[in-house]
Chains A and B, each alone.
Chain A
Amino acid sequence: DAKTTQPTSMDCAEGRAANLPCNHSTISGNEYVYWYRQIHSQGPQYIIHGLKNNETNEMASLIITEDRKSSTLILPHATLRDTAVYYCIVREHNAGNMLTFGGGTRLMVKP
């Protein structure tokens, strides 16, 4: 079973920030938070990952709460091409390749 809980769907206006929440209350000390997204009919795309500090890359920012029980993925200026299913996954960074996907959040970016 997935160890994360995400809203089923969210809408966001084009050009605005999209904030996608994820709860992972049972995360252990050596588990990272990973975010992937899947645009319709394509393979999942890696976005970002973090352990306890906030992270930023060219795609997004990841904000992890101090107790690490939840996190938020931020797309600073959402575009129509960001419409996708976003998956939040917890795993040990140097563990095997078994990712457990939950239902994800279906983000719809609207003009």
Chain B
Amino acid sequence: DAGVTQSPTHLIKTRGQQVTLRCSPKSGHDTVSWYQQALGQGPQFIFQYYEEEERQRGNFPDRFSGHQFPNYSSELNVNALLLGDSALYLCASSFGVISGKGNTIYFGEGSWLTVV
């Protein structure tokens, strides 16, 4: 049973560039969320996708956008990268609320983004 998988594991981008991070949810899960974790801090919720729509959003600017595909996988896009966007980006998945299966959230290992 594959857990949450993310790619790439590490990447370096230049300020002003755009980046796309990818996530495949745990088998059977249909809800995906993204978190940003700066060095030395706890993860911060960015947004959640269910049924290919953004359902919840944290306090992040519009430069952060996402997408969920029919197979439940997801992408996180960040435009106009800033030095402060350097962080570990975590994807998490669960069953949707409607499923009634309880939605314990499981995390992937993350994508380390360095902006120079």
* Chain B interface size, under 10 / 10 to 19 / 20 to 34 / 35 or more: 20 to 34
Beta-carbon contact of A98 and B48 below 8 Å? yes
The residue from B33, B42, B56 contacting A103, defined by CB atoms under 8 A apart? B42
Residues B1-51 near A (CB distance < 8 A): 4, 31-33, 35, 42-45, 48
Q: Determine the distance from Cα of A99 to Cα of B45 in the docked complex, in whole angstroms.
A: 7
Spot the interface stretch: A11-19, A59-67, A74-82, A89-97.
A89-97
Main secondary structure of the interface of A (DSSP, over half): loop
Beta-carbon contact of B56 and A98 below 8 Å? yes
The residue from A2, A94, A102 contacting B103, defined by CB atoms under 8 A apart? A94
* Chain A interface size, under 10 / 10 to 19 / 20 to 34 / 35 or more: 20 to 34
Q: Hey, which chain B residues are within 8 Å of A102, CB to CB?
A: 42
- B residues with a Cβ closer than 8 A to A are 4, 31-33, 35, 42-45, 48, 55-56, 58, 88, 90, 92, 94, 97, 100, 102-110
